[in-house]
Amino acid sequence: MGARLIMIDVKIIALLVFGSLFSGLITSYLIKWFRKLGMVGYDVFKKDRPPIPSLGGVPIIFSYIIFLSLMFVLGYVDVDVYSTVVLVSIIAAFIGLLDDMYDLPGFFKPLACMLAGLPIIFFGTYVPRLHFLFGVSYRITYIYVVLILLGVTVSANTVNMFDVINGSALVGTLYSLLVIIISSYWLGRDLNSLYPALLFIAILIGFLPFNIYPSRVFLGNVGSLLLGSQLALFGILYKVEFPTVIAMLPFIHNSFFFLNKVKGFIEHKRLGYRVTFLDDKGLIGDAGDENAPITLIRLLVAPNRLSEKDLLLNINILFIFTTALSLISLFWW
Amino acid sequence: MRISRSLPFIILILVVQYIFLIFIPYILFRLYNSIVFLPGSILLDQLIKAFISFATVIIWIYQWMWVTNKSYRLLRR
């Protein structure tokens, strides 16, 4: 445990760099396609509500699978991990794509996303032991299998519900992935085993300029479910469930109130009432509806209205804080 | 650049949850290792421990929501 000399093969660095560049290139190309096909969402936090291409998860998964396959062919990823990662990604993204295209009922996504946890169980790429701080651990052989299915669907839908303003879900995911990488390495996982997660970060970095405020492409359900499922997957794969949960506290905080008020994983657009509103100056404020859930965004704008850009900055601060908390915890492992 | 006045409240709420997340598993771990609720039946003993864990998680979640609700009311004044 602790600091070790980091040696990365130059081929891996090349794969990460080219993966990132490819992700950016394919995104810029596909944006035009999505617009032509009418696959757009409306940016409700801009005064003119511009249509924005919305299947951003498609270039992400496309780039990810190509470069992960290259890693596998070059022998950097073993067959069980490769199969698990590819299948979890494809299942989660496909479920999201179905919802993007056909607007399926609210219960569909949470139930269907449990299927994305099955490859982890099938390929046995997990250890049924939960580790906490101060040397506490629980061996929970059968319960862990249930937790895998729940963890993947909860994580995927939690990130999905947080995809409210430009870049919020992507930024939170990147911070959480950073925690996964650092905590995994700190706790003694072999650096070679972390390549799938490092690649995913690289792919997301290539996509980031298109999704960050002001967005030129939205993640869509295809993207947000993919991102969330990967967080659960890597947390399980690298046995860093606890640090991952700490890093994801802002996501979890947001979801609780949806679950409490709405009794389900429902996106903002499906709610029958307004959580927030946009005023004449382009600032986001609390709609003040007693029936609406107290989401993280609503809590942030409750005392004072904020611009979307400032809201994203506040979300960044929250994630930096939980990232730091998570990493500090490693000293008490 | 504007910081929300809610930010310190939210950070405090998350710190409280973090402390719960650290100490609840530790306390339960010590409890389960030191007490056998039903010496005559391992299965029932495990079931009681599972129930305690479940009840603890429910209480923790409701505490989180209660604190956030109260904070929201305070911030809206």
Q: What is the pLDDT of residues A264-279, one digit of tens each?
A: 555 555 556 678 989 9
Q: What is the pLDDT of residue A38?
A: 93
CA distance, residue B48 to nearest chain A CA (Å)? 15
Residue A292 in tokens: 């609406």
Domain extent, residue A146, equals 10-274+303-332
3-state secondary structure of A306: strand
Is the pLDDT score of A296 beyond 80?
yes
> Looking at the predicted complex, does its ipTM rise above 0.85?
yes
Subunit contact B65:A302, Cβ cutoff 8 A = no
Instruction: Report chain B residues whose CB lies below 8 A from the CB of A322.
Output: 14
**Is residue A236 situated within a structural domain?**
yes
Cα separation, A317 vs A240, whole angstroms: 23
CA distance, residue A63 to nearest chain B CA (Å)? 34
- Which of A132, A162, A326 best probes binding to B when mutated, by most B CB atoms within 10 angstroms? A132
Burial class (CB in 10 A: 0-12, 13-18, 19+), A2: exposed
A198 phi/psi in degrees, rounded to 5: -65, -40
For residue A8, the 8-state DSSP code is -
Subunit contact A302:B6, Cβ cutoff 8 A = yes
Is the pLDDT score of A78 beyond 80?
yes
Rounded to the nearest 5 degrees, what angle is found at the Cα of B60, between the Cα atoms of A112 and A154? 15
- Tell me, what amino acid is at A72? F
**Is residue A5 situated within a structural domain?**
no
Subunit contact A325:B6, Cβ cutoff 8 A = no
Q: Which residue of B has its CA nearest to A246?
A: B18
Is the pLDDT score of A43 beyond 70?
yes
What are the residues whose beta carbons fall under 8 Å from the beta carbon of B52, sequence distance 6 or more? B28, B31
Q: Which helix (H) or strand (E) holds A242?
A: helix A241-247
Strand positions, DSSP E, A26-167: 40-42, 51-53, 129-131, 137-139
Is the pLDDT score of A133 beyond 90?
no
Residue A37 in tokens: 């096909």
CA distance, residue A291 to nearest chain B CA (Å)? 13
Is the pLDDT score of A125 beyond 90?
yes
Q: Which residue of A has its CA nearest to B24?
A: A132
Helix axes A308-329, A249-262, angle to 10 degrees: 110
Cα separation, A175 vs A172, whole angstroms: 5
For residue B5, the 8-state DSSP code is T
CA distance, residue A325 to nearest chain B CA (Å)? 8
| C-alpha to C-alpha distances, A89 to A62, A68, A85, A240, B4, nearest whole angstrom | 10, 11, 6, 19, 35
Subunit contact B5:A249, Cβ cutoff 8 A = no
Instruction: Report chain A residues whose CB lies below 8 A from the CB of B69.
Output: 294
Higher per-residue pLDDT: A265 or B18? B18
Chain B interface residues (partner A, CB cutoff 8 A)? 1-7, 9-11, 13-15, 17-18, 21-22, 25-26, 29, 61, 64-65, 68-69, 71-72, 75-76
3-state secondary structure of A134: coil
Confidence of residue A1 (pLDDT cuts 50, 70, 90): low
Judged by phi (left if over 0) then psi (alpha if -120 to 50, else beta), residue A106 lies in alpha
Instruction: Report chain A residues whose CB lies below 8 A from the CB of B2.
Output: 304, 306-307, 310
Higher per-residue pLDDT: A76 or A133? A76
Sketch the domain layout of chain B as residue ranges: 7-76
Mean of the pLDDT values across residues A38-52?
A: 93
Helix axes A79-102, A195-211, angle to 10 degrees: 30
Subunit contact B7:A318, Cβ cutoff 8 A = yes
Instruction: Report chain A residues whose CB lies below 8 A from the CB of B3.
Output: 310, 313-314, 317
Q: What is the pLDDT of residues A213-236, one digit of tens each?
A: 999 999 999 999 999 999 999 999
Nearest to B22 among A133, A296, A318 (CB): A133
Helix axes A220-237, A57-73, angle to 10 degrees: 40
Is the pLDDT score of A326 beyond 80?
yes
pTM as predicted: 0.92
What's the number of domains chain A is made of? 1
Instruction: Report chain B residues whose CB lies below 8 A from the CB of A300.
Output: 4, 6-7, 10
Residue A192 CA, chain-centre distance (Å), reads 22
For residue A213, the 8-state DSSP code is S
Q: Determine how β-strand A129-131 pairs with β-strand A276-278.
A: unpaired
Are A179 and A203 within 8 A, CB to CB?
no
